[in-house]
Amino acid sequence: MTWALALLVGALYSAGLFLALRRSATKIVIGLALVSHGANLLIFTAAGLVRGLVPIAPLGSDSPPPGAPDPLPPALILTAIVISFAVTVFSIVLVKRLAQQAGTDDPRLIGSHDA
Amino acid sequence: MLIASIAAISLFALAAPLAHGAWRRGAGPLLALGVGSVFARLAWVAPDVTAGAVTLERFAWAPQLGLEVALRLDGLALLMSLLITGVGAVVLLFASASLRDHPALGRFYATLLAFMASMLGLVLADNALLAFVFWELTSITSYLLIGLDHHRAEARKAATQALLTTGAGGLALLAGLVTLCEAAGTYQLSELVTRAEVLDHPALTPAIALILAGCFTKSAQFPFWAWLPGAMEAPTAVSAYLHSSTMVKAGVYLIARLSPLLSGVALWDSSLVVVGAATALGAAFVGSRQTYFKRVLAYSTVSSLGTMVMLLGLGAGGATAAAVFLLAHALYKGALFLVAGVVDHATHVKDSERLGALWRSLPITATAAALAGLSMAGVPGLLGFAGKELWVKESLHALQGGWTPWLIGAVAGAGALNAAMAAQVALRPFWLAAPSSAGAHAPAKDPAHAHGPAWPLWIGPALMALAGLIGGVSPGLFAAPVALAAADAIAGLSPGAPGAADVPLDVGHLVKPGPALYLSLGAVAAGLAVFALRRAYRAATRPASALDPLGPQSAYAAAYSGVLGTAQAITRVTQNGSLHFYLRVTLGFVSVVGWGTLWRAWAGASEPIPRTPVGPIEAALVAGTAVSVAAMVLLRTRLAVIAALGAAGYCVASLFAVYGAPDLAMTQFAVETLSVVLLVLVLYHLPRFPVFRLTAARVVDAAIALSVGALMSGLVLLAAGVQLAEPVSAYFSQNASALANGRNVVNVIIVDFRALDTLGEITVLAIAALGVLALLDVRAERPGPRASAPGQPADAHPNPAHAPADGALAGRAPTIGGPA
Amino acid sequence: MNALDSVILRTTTRLLLPVLAFFSIVVLLRGHNEPGGGFIGGLIAASGVALYAIAHGPDRARRLIGPDPRWWLGLGLTLGITSAIPGLLSGAGFFAGLWVSAQLPALGTLKLGTPIWFDAGVYVVVAASMLAMIFRLQEH
Amino acid sequence: MTAALLSLPLLIPLTAAAACAAMWARPRAQAGVCLGAALATLAASVALTAQVLRLGPIAAQAGAWPAPFGITLVADTLSCVMLLINSGVLAAAALHGLGSVDRPRASGGHHALTLTLAAGVSGAFLTGDIFNMYVWYEVMLLSSFVLVTLGSTRRQLEGGLAYLTLNLIASGLFLAGVGVLYGLTGTVNMADLALKLPAADRPQLVTAVGAVILTAFAIKAAAAPLYFWLPASYDTCPPVVAALMAGVLSKVGVYSIIRASSLFLGQEAAVFQWLLALSGLTMVLGVFGAAVAVEIRRVLAFHSVSQIGYMLMGFAVAMLAARTRPESQPVAELALAGAILFMVHHAAVKTNLFLISGVVLRARGTTRLAQLGGLCHTHPLTAGLFFVTAMSLAGVPLLSGFIAKLALVRAGVQAGQDAIVAVSLFVSLLTLYSMSKVWDQAFWKAPAAPPTKRMHFSGDPATADRDTALMLVPIGLLAGLALLIGLWPSPALDLCRRAAQEVLRPALYVGTVLGQDPTTEPAQAPTPPEEPL
């Protein structure tokens, strides 16, 4: 399964970055959202996979069952998810405002002052 | 005393604008008096210094960097500092009259005095880095002085050229000094010149090359001299002071300062002689074809600087000649520049050929010009003769040392052409008849100046010319002791030891029949002949202007446009405004660096990749994610792509759920739902994506994206297999319940163990909310329905797409101070 | 988007709102022991108000929550930051958890501590930022 | 006490930001809060620095959870210097903002976002935890995204898109790198990583992870060839925002490179060889852009890139010297001290130049060189302050830039890195050129055209003079700082050298965070739960 998830991480990054290279600011933002999915899955997979147990201590017990998955990666990913959500929402509104002003969301048509 | 001198002049610089504001006319003479008092103080100790006393003053500055305020007054420093303060006082006086009505006179005083303080610091500095500090300050103050009349484009251009040329040299000098001093292990100049062991150091050659590059640019040697004639855009007072008497001698000074160590090194000596001689002859040739006062003087200055540089390459005898020449040149050339200023002031004519018989209206000035001109031409009885005579003598001497006879040709030619130039500026306008052409000006026509110039104007040239005369007639009075003490310092002779000081300078000793005398008198005669036949000479030499494209000005222009053209070309490619290009380069870099390093890491890893059984649910989820991702790449409507994004997110969330992270899964489900809703809300109205086509660009993009993706897969596999240490998270599982009162370890981590992360996270969320509001509310463009508030200017741009970026803010705000 | 002209929706949301609000608080409080917590709780609360806004229009929803969402943002952040202070004052260090427990009849022991205070801050910030964005996008 | 002091540079701006958000409708009050918080942050940073200079590096564990389990805040001299930069620039921007931030921008959240930006930067400088650093990175990045686009002009949005996209890619890489690090070592505490990674003795593995993380940092630092976002965005936003970003933001990337690679990522000397090569490329490409740019803020933006190169150069020279020859420790210290001093200098000077461009923009409505001119007659004070600051940037003596440059050149020559020294001096010449170009075109030249009627005054034109005067206060102070460092460099040099010494001895940092160093607050268990209500 590690192999499969590793390839999936690669697929998420590849597709996300490929979208970021397209002629649409919308696709860029969506692609970056996909990249952050990839990063989350990467953290998750890199730390090791455990199936069927949760890192929650059962009632009456002081600690989760032995062999429960590492609780830290989910906590880190939780933070990362919220952050990437916040960034995605902001960026998509940015793209919308840009598209409203420029009449297109093609970065090749709008981003030219920098040349 | 030394630091006090520099501090006093710096103080004058700071006080100058105030003084000018308070006293107007009186400020200049007052400041000149102040500088004069510093001169007097230095002159007071001169007898001690020429007798061999060396004054040292040291103060800590930045010991961490080897930067120390170490000041040292020896013979060479004395010569230079007397010139700096003496000529400085006279020039201030001159400027107070010649620039009387200049709007920036206060600022001019301040800058000139700041320059003077820097120059004084440079010649007194005994620390290489301190010397460099002052060296750079002279470049900057000179920039400001050349650009004093900055409304004129030529002045600004000349200022920039001077700044860039001397600035480039300065940086070379810094590198050279640091290299040399690091090799020698000391930054103290007086210590450095005794470290002969550095002569075997491999860094010596680059250090010499770099130091000479600095000195040659500053002292306007071939091929860097182009900035100096340009610098004549400055007011005459500035030219007289900076560009003939002092700053341009900084390079010569530094060469002299390092001579005790480096004299005798083949590269050093031969560079000085070859470049110096080339400059002396080349500049003399160019100058002898000019007629404008300041141009002639500028090129003759360059030529003289070449002479001094050349002499410094000729050993101890050359040092004596150089010191005498330096003193003589400062006096006559300073005088002639001021004379040119007086003439310009009186007649507003800059071309020496269009003037004549000025001795009638400007008798004192004409006399001063005559004396200075004779000195410059090298006529016996004046200090200039001593300088020239020693020069010729040393050149002949060098011939025996194996130098090519061409050298003598260069010396003779330069001497002759300098004599011609002396006649051109000192003889032609004053003592010859006015030209008959209609453009001729007689100053008497100008009633304002009919009574001759004010005393501050003529006193300077008169004093300097007189000094040249006294120096020639009675060298023992001041010229010989000062110059010879300097020569001792240049030759590295310990003060008081028998050496150069034995060289007699009085006319009786110098006028001895021999090749030297014949040669130098011949040169004067040839010069006069050139002057007499100047029209024919100029006509005959006109073909030489074909060489201009190879000249220093062209070299500067080529370097300037070459560097900027390269910069332009590169910047146009790199910062081309295409986000797509930026992304490609960035991702390409990631891919190259990532694979380059991952490859080696893989090769060194032997751990197996962990295998966990794949159940049907996981398989379905992986497949679902993969399909959604593929759909995102292939689909063309926005809604479909957003839906696919949501599907991918749900699949990933389900994977989290399967592998024991329920909180994570819950959050991801919630966030994914919200994202999709918001994306749809925001993007609902936008058009479809462009049509999918397989193009070469797309293939490249795909390759880059796949490469980075594969890199990430590789990293995951590496990290999943290799475990270098036990995870710290066992601590969380053990203590969450007992110490943190929570059974859900993930949540306890979020709100307690790693609460700081979460604090940052909610801050991000809050910022995003503020950001969305700001994007939608604060609008500088596109006056929509909200914009039609009363009081809004009617000239709102009809087409928002073409509104200027800094347009009026729509809505409730008046305007926004936006970027342009 | 204006309020949907639907009596049913209005009535439903009016009824749903207190339920969701209560539920969100429960999720917030139980997060320490079971899946849940401030983030999810805040999202649930926000979705309740968002539904209300869809049914009754953003103006009435704004009146419902009282001050502007930005005020609530400030409050939530302040809650989060100030939960660091008791630990600082007690000398244990900032963000150090301090706990008190109360015996509640019928419910057993209720443990309250600064981490829950902190989680409440998370709850408020999440809800407020969601509402700030949703209201504005709705009005736009 | 220590814990309080360590958390204040983070908590003060964050609390003030919360207050500003709550006071969204009262811009003047927000400006006041912002300034007050900035000064308080500055005071806290100074106090913290004093403490660190007295006691050595100090650490505090958030939530009192012992390292490496909780999140550690740790301040060594380098962190303190960076905090001083951050709070100083924040204070300058807040002061300037009193005059330059108009009402719509203020109610759009300018002050709150300025404060969150500062908080994020403080967090990044203080945290001893690499994932936590990621979080603070995102705080400051999103703050800066909003600040860059605040006003929503088309150019701002365009610049914002480039800025956002490239920085989010950096975030994606950073996060991935952190995940891989955790997967390898099971820890995200940087001191713990500094113990565990070398112990594993797998330098090639570390370099592979390091390549990803350092590339992410290099994007944020705007090193070549990853700097495109910076010139694309700095000249589109209000000068006060550009000042904030140029002053501190890209230095966070440099700081992170220094911190991470000196502690645990730089196990192979080749890493620093590459860094050195990139630093040269960064300098040259940046200064080329500046030399040909025709707009003041664009010139300044490109220079920011170029000067990032100097900072990286100093660090790379230092690490190469320290790694290759143990006896060259003093050289390494000087090089790194030079790099750190360069950051201090650059923060003061570049911030100031952007602030001055704000005055120019206010006065003339444009910062395009062709349309400017005559400012040295109409605005002599501004002209003087610009000249001093610009010359400092160009490394002219008696000013801060010279001291920093001299330290780098000396160390470079001592370390035998002649090529990079040559490059840096060439770049220095072009810096001088482009500064003189701005001076020439904007200040010296006769005005190109009479100022347009449509001036870009924000707020009330009646208060324009007062506003400009307010804007000049921080400009004067920063120019004074450049002069002070130039004239009296010893204290700054000593501070930077001490910071360098500590960076070059990672054991000190590790001991402070993990060990029983007396200055570390002992890790305490939380108060027992069973206390009566």
Q: Per-residue DSSP letters for D361-426?
A: HHHHS--BGGG---HHHH-HHHHHHHHHHHHHHTT-TTSHHHHHHHHHHHHHHHTT-HHHHHHHHH
> Is the bond into A64 cis (omega within 30 degrees of 0)?
no
Number of domain units in chain B:
1
Which of B398-402, B779-783, C25-29 shows the lowest per-residue confidence on average (mean pLDDT)?
B779-783
- H/E stretch holding D501 reads helix D490-503
Question: In Å, how far is C126's CA from the nearest CA of chain A?
Answer: 10
Whether B677 is covered by a domain: the verdict is: yes
Contact B765 C36 (CB under 8 A): no
Nearest to D162 among A47, A70, A111 (CB): A111
Which residues, in sequence order, are CB contacts of B791 under 8 Å at separation 6+? Answer: none
Burial class of residue D150 (count of CB atoms within 10 Å of its CB; 0-12, 13-18, 19+):
buried
Contact B732 A71 (CB under 8 A): yes
Using the Cβ of B179 and the Cβ atoms of chain D, whether some distance falls under 8 Å is answered with: yes
- For chain A, give the percent of residues with pLDDT over 90: 52
Beta bridge partners of D75: D58
CB-facing half-sphere around the CA of D294: CA atoms within 13 A: 8
- Distances from the Cα of D301 to the Cα of A113, B477, B626, C112, D372, angstroms: 14, 60, 42, 51, 19
Quickly list DSSP for D113-149: HHHHHHHHHHHHHHB-BHHHHHHHHHHHHHHHHHHHH
The token pair at A35 is: 């990249």
Using the Cβ of B630 and the Cβ atoms of chain C, whether some distance falls under 8 Å is answered with: no
pLDDT for B323 beyond 80: yes
The token pair at D510 is: 């590790």
Single-letter amino acid, residue D347: A
Higher-pLDDT residue of B790 and B200 is B200
Contact D533 C101 (CB under 8 A): yes
Quickly list DSSP for B132-174: HHHHHHHHHHHHHHHTTTTTSHHHHHHHHHHHHHHHHHHHHHH
Pick the closest to residue B817 from D302, D234, D350, D241 (CA basis): D241
- Cα-only R_g, chain B: 38
- Distances from the Cα of D307 to the Cα of C83, D436, D485, angstroms: 41, 17, 18
Looking at residue B788, its pLDDT comes to: 32
Nearest to C133 among A78, A82, A89 (CB): A89
Quote the CA–CA distance of D464 and D99 in Å, as a whole number.
8
Is residue C26 within 8 A of residue B735, CB to CB? The reply is no
Q: State the alpha helices, DSSP H only, in B432-514.
A: 455-473, 479-491, 507-510
Nearest to A94 among D134, D138, D160 (CB): D160
Pick the closest to residue B253 from B312, B315, B185 (CA basis): B312
Whether B441 is covered by a domain: the verdict is: no
pLDDT for B804 beyond 50: no
Rounded mean pLDDT, D200-215: 93
Q: Give pLDDT tens digits for C84-131.
A: 888 888 877 778 777 777 776 665 566 778 888 899 999 999 999 999
Quote the CA–CA distance of B489 and B322 in Å, as a whole number.
12
Quote the CA–CA distance of B371 and B165 in Å, as a whole number.
34
Query: Interface pTM (ipTM) of the complex?
Result: 0.94
Whether B628 is covered by a domain: the verdict is: yes
**How far is C-alpha C11 from the geometric centre of its chain's CA atoms?**
22
The token pair at B142 is: 């000179």
Q: Give pLDDT tens digits for B704-719.
A: 999 999 999 999 999 8
Pick the closest to residue B657 from B629, B618, B625 (CA basis): B618
First to last CA, chain D: 27
Contact D236 A101 (CB under 8 A): no
Pick the closest to residue B717 from D203, D184, A67 (CA basis): D184
Question: In Å, how far is D441's CA from the nearest CA of chain B?
Answer: 9
The token pair at D272 is: 């620093």
Whether B268 is covered by a domain: the verdict is: no
Sign, Cα dihedral of D462, D466, D468, D470: negative
Which residues, in sequence order, are CB contacts of B768 under 8 Å at separation 6+? Answer: A86, A87, A89, A90, C129, C133, D142
pLDDT for B446 beyond 80: no
Quote the CA–CA distance of D25 and D28 in Å, as a whole number.
9
Q: For residue C32, what is the nearest residue in chain A, using CA coordinates?
A: A56
Which residues, in sequence order, are CB contacts of C63 under 8 Å at separation 6+? Answer: none
Whether C104 is covered by a domain: the verdict is: no
- Which residue of C131, C133, C136 to mutate against A (max A Cβ within 10 Å)? C133
* Torsion of the alpha carbons at C39, C41, C44 and C48, rounded to the nearest 10: -120
- HEC readout, B72-140: EECHHHHHHHHHHHHHHHHHHHHHHHHCCCCCCHHHHHHHHHHHHHHHHHHHHECEHHHHHHHHHHHHH
- Which residue of B582, B629, B650 to mutate against A (max A Cβ within 10 Å)? B629
The token pair at B272 is: 């000085």
Helix-helix angle B293-312:B315-347, to 10 degrees: 170
Quote the CA–CA distance of B771 and C120 in Å, as a whole number.
23
Quote the CA–CA distance of B175 and B155 in Å, as a whole number.
30
Contact D64 C87 (CB under 8 A): yes
The overall longest dimension of chain A from CA atoms, in Å, is: 66
Question: In Å, how far is C46's CA from the nearest CA of chain B?
Answer: 11
Q: Give pLDDT tens digits for B197-245.
A: 999 999 999 999 999 999 999 999 988 999 998 888 888 889 889 888 8
Which residues, in sequence order, are CB contacts of C15 under 8 Å at separation 6+? Answer: none
Contact B752 C115 (CB under 8 A): yes
Contact C133 B773 (CB under 8 A): yes
Specify the residue for token string 């004299």: B263
Whether C65 is covered by a domain: the verdict is: yes
Looking at residue B36, its pLDDT comes to: 94
pLDDT for D303 beyond 50: yes
Using the Cβ of D176 and the Cβ atoms of chain A, whether some distance falls under 8 Å is answered with: yes
First to last CA, chain A: 47
Is residue C60 within 8 A of residue C50, CB to CB? The reply is no
- For chain B, give the percent of residues with pLDDT over 90: 50
Contact B594 D292 (CB under 8 A): no
Contact A87 D169 (CB under 8 A): no
Q: For residue B198, give the DSSP letter.
A: G
The token pair at C7 is: 């009596």
D521 pLDDT band, cuts 50/70/90, is: very low
Quote the CA–CA distance of D2 and D58 in Å, as a whole number.
8
Contact A47 D176 (CB under 8 A): no
pLDDT for B690 beyond 80: no
Looking at residue D468, its pLDDT comes to: 84
Q: For residue D384, what is the nearest residue in chain B, using CA coordinates?
A: B107
D528 pLDDT band, cuts 50/70/90, is: very low
Looking at residue D449, its pLDDT comes to: 66
- φ and ψ at B223, to 5 degrees? -100, 35
Quote the CA–CA distance of B234 and B155 in Å, as a whole number.
7
Q: Is B767 helix (H, G, I), strand (E, B) or coil?
A: helix
Contact D529 C113 (CB under 8 A): yes
**How far is C-alpha B103 from the geometric centre of its chain's CA atoms?**
27
Pick the closest to residue D63 from D7, D8, D117 (CA basis): D7
* Torsion of the alpha carbons at B224, B227, B232 and B236, rounded to the nearest 10: -70
- Domain range for residue C22? 7-82+115-139
- Domain range for residue B596? 580-724
Using the Cβ of D55 and the Cβ atoms of chain C, whether some distance falls under 8 Å is answered with: no
Quote the CA–CA distance of D184 and D195 in Å, as a whole number.
13
Question: In Å, how far is B664's CA from the nearest CA of chain C?
Answer: 9
Q: Give pLDDT tens digits for D440-485.
A: 999 998 887 665 544 444 545 667 778 888 899 999 999 999 999 9
CB-facing half-sphere around the CA of D166: CA atoms within 13 A: 34
Q: Give pLDDT tens digits for C50-85.
A: 888 888 888 888 988 889 999 999 999 999 999 888
For chain B, list the contacting chains (3+ Cβ pairs, <8 Å): A, C, D
Q: Give pLDDT tens digits for B529-588.
A: 998 888 889 888 888 888 877 788 889 999 999 999 999 999 998 888 888 999 999 999
Is residue B337 within 8 A of residue B244, CB to CB? The reply is yes
Single-letter amino acid, residue D411: A
